[in-house]
Amino acid sequence: MKKRLFYPMLIVIFVLAVGFSPKTAGASEIKNSGIVSTVLDDQTGMAVTIYNVNLALVKDQRQIKLPIGTGELRFMDVASRIMPPSVRIRSLVDPASLQILEQNYEYDLLNPQKLLDKYVGREVKLYYKNPYTEREEIVPATLLSNNGGPIFKIGDEITFGHPGRIIFPQLPENLISKPTLVWLVENSLSKPQKVETSYLTQEINWRADYVVILNERDDRADLSGWVTIDNKSGVEYRKAKLKLVAGDIHRVKDEREYKDKMLRAAVAEAAAKPQFQQEEFFEYHIYTLQRPATIKQNQTKQITLVTADRVPVKKELRFYGAQYYYRSLHGQMISNQKVGVFVEIKNRKENNLGIPLPKGTIRAYKHDSEGSLQFVGEDSIDHTPKDETVKIKLGEAFDVVGSRKQTDWKKIAYDTYEAAFEISLRNHKKENVAVHVIEPIPGDWKILSSSHDYNKTDASTAEFDIKVPKDKETKLIYRVRMRF
């Protein structure tokens, strides 16, 4: 017998497990045929690491009594969305004592169609109630075919569409009732084996959902973050050690497109204590829940990730231009152009934050004059390291509008042009506002004149801060020369 553990190519059997009685369904069972079945009740440990790309790494530990020699191990209660090439099993007691000789992969899952297919050419019984005599009858029949519907031979006659309910004498041996991994193993350990099976599975995902509650002046906010886990992998994870990995992990795409389930988090009226410990991991971040958690199949679970009170925020009104304004004459007025409403949060320790924030959806709320909390907008954010800024667009301003017109445009040389613009900003609110105007100017440019100061924030952007008094209009007028 070889002393080192050999793992052949990892292929998985998805089969449905039968052949054990209800009395033995709660523990591993050794059959006369040398087949050992292990179920969820044999589990001694469970760890799940969920990635925010609709993927999870499952580590399932179980105590199993294996006979010495070669036999078949059926590992039941695994995820039905398992990725076959990722499966690995090892002994935690003595790795050299358990060798994997063979793994196979089949799709013979128990369902009515497969059951009928397996009984083609065999005898079944048809149970029905005779409409004339009102007597219940059982008729023996041979199933001849199941293409498009069962065809039976009853006595010397052939029929289809029989109204009777089909009764099968037993379940075929090659159909079992639970998602199962099957290995041909060679075991040399006389005492019970403690094994760990690890695999990747799809259809389990997590995302971050954040709630921001703005104060009356819009200069501070209470922030709470939630982890939303959506499990559709086909199995329950009991009392699992839960880890979440945040980062842009590269994967090889197959014919499936993995779609994140965008789930909304409920508004948190009271802050909860963070339950995750965060650490750097490779080029990502990993968040470990400090307690076991059970994740049920078809369950959406939310766990508090972060809470922070009185976080400084900056509210800003922004008015954007477009590059095509500068390449030709657009003298007509562009009326009632939208002014965007943005909020910025600096992810710093002095602002009661300073932790890596996973990507997700952030939703903002504010109390109205009656003290009732109202929704004011949402946006998605990317992974945000500490000391970086989170920028959120909440919507468009109702009472602050803008318009622009091009007052001049001329060609100075074959590659040089001049253009002049007038931007009108009108404030219908009860208080003064400031509007941040962002103009994306193409080419090699220089502003020749301007009614307001500006900053050249990069090679193609001029930005203006314009104060607009309440119930007033302010005009920004400037001329720019461009070469391109």
Q: Do the Cβ atoms of 37 and 76 come closer than 8 Å?
A: yes
Same domain, 324 and 460: yes
Q: Which pLDDT score is estimated for 3?
A: 41
pLDDT (mean) for 65-71:
92
Using DSSP, state whether 107 is helix, strand or coil: coil
Q: Do the Cβ atoms of 376 and 365 come closer than 8 Å?
A: yes
pLDDT band at 330 (very low <50, low <70, confident <90, very high): low
Question: What is the separation, in whole angstroms, between the first and last Cα of the chain?
Answer: 77
87 lies in a domain?
yes
Which is higher by pLDDT, 56 or 136?
56
pLDDT band at 439 (very low <50, low <70, confident <90, very high): very high
477 lies in a domain?
yes
Domain end position, chosen among 158, 185, 201: 201
Number of independent structural domains in the chain? 3
Q: What's the CA gap between 371 and 434, in Å, rounded?
A: 27
Q: Which pLDDT score is estimated for 4?
A: 42
362 lies in a domain?
no
Closest by Cα among 170, 171, 172, 180 to 16 = 180
pLDDT at 32 over 50: no
Using DSSP, state whether 159 is helix, strand or coil: strand
Same domain, 473 and 344: yes
Alpha-carbon torsion, ordered 75, 76, 80, 84, to 10 deg: 10
C-alpha distances (whole Å) from 189 to each of 75, 96, 183, 232 are 18, 9, 17, 37
**To which residue do tokens 């049920």 refer?**
296
pLDDT at 281 over 90: no
216 lies in a domain?
no
Q: Which pLDDT score is estimated for 171?
A: 74
> Which amino acid, one-letter code, is at 43?
Q
227 lies in a domain?
no
Q: Do the Cβ atoms of 431 and 465 come closer than 8 Å?
A: no
pLDDT at 237 over 90: yes
Same domain, 91 and 191: yes
Same domain, 100 and 120: no
Domain end position, chosen among 148, 167, 186: 167
Q: Which domain holds residue 149?
A: 112-167
Total residues belonging to the chain: 484
pLDDT (mean) for 351-370:
92
247 lies in a domain?
no
Maximum Cα–Cα distance across the chain: 103
CATH number of the CATH domain containing 449: 2.60.40
What's the pTM? 0.70
Same domain, 34 and 128: no
Same domain, 104 and 117: no
Ramachandran region of residue 183, left (φ > 0), alpha (ψ -120 to 50) or beta? beta
Q: What's the CA gap between 2 and 99, in Å, rounded?
A: 8
118 membership: H or E segment, kind and range: helix 112-118
Q: Which pLDDT score is estimated for 254?
A: 52
Same domain, 32 and 101: yes
190 lies in a domain?
yes
Ramachandran region of residue 336, left (φ > 0), alpha (ψ -120 to 50) or beta? left
Q: Which pLDDT score is estimated for 148?
A: 79
pLDDT (mean) for 23-50:
73
Closest by Cα among 11, 14, 9, 10 to 181 = 14
Same domain, 348 and 457: yes
Same domain, 476 and 422: yes
**Residue 355: Cβ within 10 Å count:** 18
Closest by Cα among 146, 10, 12, 170 to 80 = 12
Q: Do the Cβ atoms of 73 and 182 come closer than 8 Å?
A: yes
* Contacts of residue 17, Cβ cutoff 8 Å, sequence gap at least 6: 37, 39, 74, 76, 176, 177, 178, 180
pLDDT at 10 over 50: no
Q: Structure tokens of 467? A: 């104060």
Same domain, 116 and 187: no
Same domain, 72 and 85: yes
Counting beta carbons within 10 angstroms of the beta carbon of residue 477, is it exposed (0 to 12), middle (13 to 18) or buried (19 or more)?
middle
Same domain, 476 and 332: yes
pLDDT band at 132 (very low <50, low <70, confident <90, very high): confident
Which is higher by pLDDT, 266 or 346?
346
Q: DSSP state, 356?
A: P
Q: Which pLDDT score is estimated for 320?
A: 92
pLDDT at 221 over 50: yes
